[in-house]
Amino acid sequence: MPMSESLFITGAGVVSAIGVGKAETLASLISGKTGIGRMKYLHSVHDDLPVGEVKLDNTEMARMLGTEPSEGLSRTVLLGRLALREALGQAGLTAADIAVAPFISATTVGGMDRRELFYAGERDCDRKHALIAVHNCADSSIQTAEPFGRFASITTVSTACSSATNAIITGANMLRCGKADVVVAGGSESLSLFHLNGFNTLMILDHEQCRPFDRDRAGLNLGEGAAYIVIETEASVARRGVKPLCRLSGYGNACDAFHQTASSADGEGAFLAMQEALHTAGIKAEDIDYVNAHGTGTPNNDESESRALCRIFGSKMPPVSSTKSFTGHATSASGSIEAVFCMLAMEHQFLLPNINWKTPMDEGIVPVTDTCPKREIRNVLSNAFGFGGNDSSMILSKT
């Protein structure tokens, strides 16, 4: 049903291959500067595969956070802390606010980068224990939250590439049913050998920079990063006296259960998720001013998503683009990262360009490649589709 009470986003933080924080991110998006390139921090025999790495090593991130490098802090945790610190700071949450706010964090890789060192021939038993103790996803969420105070609860969501969007949906549902007045939600994901090798085995990685929605697309580039947002009820915003950045006006989740990794040809799951998002927002398809597509650059996703978008919008297609040609696919964190991108696009009134695109697909959508909108951007639809057909969409709207 349409949402009866408005939900507002009051803080956001982001880290990705194109920048640490919203200011660097904004500059890269406007200038069309990609963060995808050769591996520097991940050491793999497959170093011919381009990736979207955050341009900091673990020691640099630890020092930015004011902590000493530790075997007990995975790269996922360090990325998450940087994004979470920015989000909490912008929202102005106090220790008392955090104490009653649930934290919902998404990841699939978790502490895998530490686990890989465990298997790399390390013989020191104490160090091996420290490396393996931080492996599971829930531990990543707990450690990400730890420096900022005691949250009311900590929940971990892991639904592959829709994880961070589903974390945000989980938080929004908690607000709607009165379980909280403020929630913090998003996700963090670091690159790892397990990550890279798994996708390489699926034969869906491009050996060049990815080209979402291009006829000659050959696959995706993996990326990493983190983003969190602070979501509040209208009553909480009024009580705290804060200025909202935008509204979380609608969202939807559906599963077509078509295949373990592939999307259905007609994009049924994607169609149902977008349809539900529009319904909960109480708006029509023609009210959407921009779509941030999942747009991985794989032959299957871009064809399936194009069909789903055509089913929703018909001949009145709004501007559509994929930002994965900027960052690579940050998998479990991609939904929250791209949500922050959409917030920046609304705030500064520019379109997010689909860089590297050249040639139209047969019967596919034609993405936007410039930054100039033809009308005011008031409602943005952002898609995140996961393996197993777990598909999610959310709508962000100007206040």
- Owner of token pair 């947002």: 229
Which residue out of 137, 161, 210, 342 is catalytically annotated?
161
Sign of torsion, CA 350 355 358 363?
negative
Q: Exposed, middle or buried: residue 363 (CB in 10 Å: 0-12, 13-18, 19+)? A: exposed
Which residue out of 137, 195, 329, 342 is catalytically annotated?
329
Rounded CA-CA distance 294/323 in Å is 8
Active site residue 329: yes
Rounded CA-CA distance 399/393 in Å is 19
Q: Three-state DSSP class for 212?
A: coil
Which residue out of 137, 195, 246, 294 is catalytically annotated?
294
CB-based contact 186:105 (threshold 8 Å): yes
Rounded CA-CA distance 227/114 in Å is 21
CA distances to 126, 184, 333, 347 from 340, in Å = 40, 14, 11, 10
Task: Give catalytic residues, as residue numbers.
Answer: 161, 294, 329
